[in-house]
Every structure is written in structure tokens, then in C-alpha cells.
Structure 1
Amino acid sequence: MNTAYIALGSNISPREVFLKDAITLLDDHEGIEVRKKSAVYETAPVGYMEQSDFLNMVIVVRTRLNPFDLLQYCQQIEGGLGRERVVKWGPRTIDLDILLFNHENMNVEFLTIPHPHMHERAFVMVPLADVAPQAYMPHLRQTAGEAVELLPSEEVNSIREWGRI
């Protein structure tokens, strides 16, 4: 069995329903088991600013799928929940990003693991450190908890815990 960490984000209402539905669809797959969920955090948009705030979280899954099949299933969920890729970093019903997969390093045209920018984004690292502070990021040679400590405090402090689902 493989362990993967998946970031989820939504900023189109009903945001929490899209997060819940994505988690349910992942857990309903015969080769995926959702093991742990972070708190849900509300964050301001990054990049394209003319949009609503996001709800973000990270889940830990155990899976028999390989990274490519997991990515394909995540993209299938995104499409099924109405995600449209119109504006880069724009509004979305649901976004699913594979952050880590075991301790693997891979970089192919459509999939890079570990996620190449995760350590730069408080909206990813805070939920990851919440759910798994000891999650090891081999490309940085540090844990999620250590990476959060290196982020600018104003970014970390701007993230508001929204609740749990």
C-alpha cells in the first residue's frame, strides 16, 4: 500500500460541499482509503485576486493505485464536480493536488512529486503540518512541520481555521 497526501481547495459555493464530495468520492474508490483529514482553513486567493476566499485542507490516503492512476482519478473527480480551467489560479469548484506519494521523487510532463511549490504556500503547508507534521519532503530534506516554520509569519497568520468536515 502507498501513502499519499492530497491538498483540496474550493472557492465556489458551496465550498464545504465540494470538499466533502471529493473526499467521499476518493474514499468510495476500492483502491483508496481516506485515513486522516486536516482542519479546513480559509485563505485569501493567490495569483488571480478577483475571486472569493478558498477553503483548503489536506488529507492522507492509503492507496493501491500508482501516482498516475491516482492523478487520473483526482482529475476525474474534479471534472465530475464541475471544475473548469478557464483562468490560471482562478475560481474552482474543487482542486485536488497530490503533494507527496510515499517518499518518491518524479518529474514527468503532467505530474511532479513532491508538488514543486508546496513549501512556498502557507495554504498548503499549514494543513499538511496539521494532519501530518512529520510528513517528510525528500526534495527539501525536511518535514512539513519544519517547512511551516520557514514560511513568512504574516502568511501563516493570515490563514484562518474554518472548522472540520
Structure 2
Amino acid sequence: MSELTKKLETLSQRRKTKEAILELPADIRSSITLENIVYIDQIRESHELALFPKYGKETMEAPQGYSKYIYRDCDTLKDLVALINSEFVPFSKSILVQSTRNSAYWELPLDCQQQFFEHYIDVLKNNFWGLLVFQSDFAQGLVIDNYCGYLPEDRATNNDEVVYEYVFWQK
């Protein structure tokens, strides 16, 4: 990748990060600084995480190396909100957040995480919002994502072609 391409990528990530932060309520936004943002390449250079399970013909194999690993999927936002409410484990340190695809990661202090997650769940009730959060030491993290597809017939509740994923890990 050329130096110019890297700079353009960095600027794009920074812009997307600023836009995402501006969408947050003012009281959460006031505790976030852009001085400590971390770019996608920096994360990829320092950590290799296998976050999603691998599927065999009829089995799902969870990634190795975690003391706790939860993978759940569903096909409605209502079920996703219920899943988060039942499975969420609070973080014990500040976290890095990527709330928009291809944005940089911004630091969210411990003291405003509960308020952030309450806001996130409130928004999620009506609109999907992907999220990737983890402690800077990668000891704990959470991914909320979606993809085009269907759940197995015995678990499907609609034909919307969207599957929502919830992944939580602790090392």
C-alpha cells in the first residue's frame, strides 16, 4: 500500500469516527477524545483474533484460546436486544469502540460505559447498529454484526434475509 493510500485510509477512518461520535448523546460524547484513536491497521498489526466460529457439515467449532466464548445468532432486532440484555458481561476497564464499519477505534472510559450501552440498546430496538468493542489488552470483547442469510429452518422467525450475530469473549 502506498504512503498516499495509507494517509487517505487514515483520514477516512478518522472522519467516520468523528461522524459516529457526533451521533452520540452530548454527555457520552463529552468523555471521548480523538487524541487516543487507534486505526484499523494498528489493531491488525498487534493482534490476531479469531472471533467467529467455523462451521462443519453439522457442527459449529468455537475459536480456541478463550476462557469464555459466547456466540449467538437470531433474525430479529427484538431478539438481538433480548440476547444482549441476557448475555452481556460488563467490562472492567476502558474499552476501544468501533461503531461504524471501517472507522478507527475510540476509547470509551469505564465511567460512561453503562450509559453508552443503554443508549446503544435503545437505538438498536429500531435500527441495526454494528458494534465492535474490546479492552485494549484484548482480554475481553464484544462484536455485534449482521449478514445476509437465513437461520436454519427450525430457528427462523421470518424471511428478511438478515441474521444478527452476538459474539462475546474473555481470555
TM-score bracket, normalised by the shorter chain, equals under 0.3
Greater strand content: 1
TM value normalised by structure 1: 0.24
Work out which of the two has the higher radius of gyration on C-alpha atoms and give 1 or 2.
Answer: 2
